[in-house]
């Protein structure tokens, strides 16, 4: 059984035991988070597709850690006036582990 959840404008295909990175949640490690925006569910009974979400279906997960990703370098090449810029960016993320899919 797996589900497709929506978090932060992105969709993730999850099943029990999966570990994935999502946008920062502002929660401490060990805390539980519940995703109620479930777009699709595939189970033994068949496939359910929400309009836009499936009512009464939730995905429970546990926060493992929150930290920053690797640095991404952003470079703007020189223009006619030879102005160049080099910047770095590190995006915050939360690593979560899917516990169970409830209501399916």
Q: Per residue in 43-99, pLDDT tens?
A: 999 999 999 999 999 999 999 999 999 999 988 887 777 777 889 999 999 999 999
DSSP H or E stretch at residue 97:
strand 92-102
Strand partners, 13: 4
Segments forming the whole domain that contains residue 53: 2-66+93-102
Q: Which pTM was predicted?
A: 0.81
Q: How many domains does the chain have?
A: 1
Of 91, 94, 74, nearest to 32 (Cα)? 94
Looking at the domain assignment, is residue 10 inside a domain?
yes
Strands 46-49 and 10-14: unpaired
Q: What is the pLDDT of residues 20-39, one digit of tens each?
A: 999 999 999 999 999 999 99
Q: Could you tell me which of 88, 94, 86 has the C-alpha nearest to residue 70?
A: 88
């Amino acid at each position: 059984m797996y589900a497709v959840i929506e978090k932060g404008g992105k969709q993730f295909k999850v099943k029990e035991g999966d570990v994935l990175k999502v946008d920062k949640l502002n929660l401490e490690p060990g805390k539980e988070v519940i995703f109620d925006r479930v777009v699709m569910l595939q189970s033994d009974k068949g496939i359910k597709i929400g309009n836009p979400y499936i009512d009464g279906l939730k995905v429970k997960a546990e926060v493992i850690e929150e930290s920053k990703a690797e640095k991404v370098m952003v470079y703007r090449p020189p223009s006619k006036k030879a102005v160049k810029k080099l910047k770095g960016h590190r995006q915050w993320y939360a690593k979560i582990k899917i516990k169970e899919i409830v209501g399916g």
